[in-house]
Amino acid sequence: MKLFGTDGIRGKFGESPINHDELVKIGHAFAKSLFGTKVGKILISNDGRESSLAIEKALSLGIKHQGSMVFFIGLYPTPALSIYLNSTAQSSEMRAGIQITASHNPYYDNGVKFFDNNGYKINSNFEETIENNYFFHNENIKEQYDESSKADDSDLFEKHYVDYIDDYFRLKMDNIRHPGDKYNILVDCANGATSKIISKILNNSFINLIPIFNEPNGKNINEKCGATDTNILKSFISEFNVNSPGYKKNLDKKTLKIDLGVAFDGDGDRAIFISPSGEEINGDEVLYILATFHKKNNNVESVVGTQMTNFGIQSLYKKNNIKFIETQVGDKYVLNEMIKSGSSFGGESSGHILVPVFDNFYIGDGIITLINLLEVIFKQEKDINSLKEEITSIPSKLFNIKVINKEKFIEDPQNIKVTKDLKKMLNEEGRILLRPSGTENLVRLLIEHRNPKQIEILSEYFYDNINKNTIV
């Protein structure tokens, strides 16, 4: 049995493994795997789900049973925790971080992501060590440890991230010609981790960030908003529909001009962009924009994507003499290949883009992705519509199928036959990719075809002919 999926441990709160008793064991296993019998320090932050406090309590019980200290940061983006650990790393202090988040999932899901002393997500070998310690743990952990919880000053961590982002923005905006007016960006915070901090960054710049969906209540994270549902953000930008739910009442559609929209996911590491005309720019397209710009200016030779990267965009990399390196889905796989190949840019279709920042630290941060895109826009003096028009991607659609068991669905003979039939029906005009989700009990079907009508025909064939006993 495995605890870890594509990105940490995730599930429905209250069910295995995201329940009190198992989370206590997970906290203990993490601390023991990292520190052994020594005392370390673990920072814990969250993305605002109502279950976060209960999960903090359970994890801290296990950590303190091992003997280490726990410091609670509160609402904080996942990449901000990673950045804090990296930029304050000290060889004399044993530290690590845990982000409580289910990323883009609905509020009733939750999970944990683990970071080492240098701010990087733990690798597969360390995940295996944690699993071994978890499954062989038989000690009784008492509730008495709960009273010794320590809370750090969240303002300290907030200021660190704000200063870091502002410094990075100044670095990237060096030697650009500033627009005459404020550049207005509508920011969908997904009622998640970026909600509190977004109004505090870039305040002394020519950028005007206008936040929406920035009022988390524990249950509204990713609810009809954020990187996985940009419909309302598109509607507002293209139609100035200020009466839609989630908008600030003081926005004036008669005077406001939106230059760009961006939607983050629940924990702030993904970013999907919306043009002034309401066009979506996904992770594949952002990665291509960044790579081709830096190919001209910094001689970028390669870029790392995943199996999900649009085939049309992969072809464009080849035309631009940029080597495309494919990995499994998951930012940890992208990061490993970036370091191995020396690539400066990598990412996923979902909007999770990784770039090197200060001291060559690789990070996937929605706000940093935004800053990198702004650098291209201002230095090339092109708006986002013009940049998107240069990209020819093949029409594609991702279908999420709820299943009883992911492995049994993939291995089912009838489903295997249907998948083979689909590949024959493509007639070399597109591709399909069927894979189990690493974070949810879903199977994901990607269909790409030069004719968008064929995508619907192929998907209907798939749904009509698969084994109905393998789906929910």
Half-sphere exposure of 217 (CA within 13 A, CB side): 5
Q: What whole-number distance in Å separates Cα of residue 350 and Cα of residue 342?
A: 22
Check if the beta carbon of residue 137 is closer than 8 Å to that of residue 342. no
Encoded tokens for 27: 């906290």
Catalytic sites, residue numbers: 103
Encoded tokens for 462: 């798939």
Q: Would residue 404 be called left, alpha or beta, if left means φ above 0 and alpha means ψ between -120 and 50 degrees?
A: alpha
Check if the beta carbon of residue 362 is closer than 8 Å to that of residue 355. yes
Q: What whole-number distance in Å separates Cα of residue 415 and Cα of residue 411?
A: 7
Check if the beta carbon of residue 353 is closer than 8 Å to that of residue 371. no
Encoded tokens for 1: 């049995």
Distances (CA, A) of 422 to 400, 412, 413, 445, 459: 17, 16, 14, 11, 9
Encoded tokens for 43: 């920072």
Q: What whole-number distance in Å separates Cα of residue 67 and Cα of residue 40?
A: 8
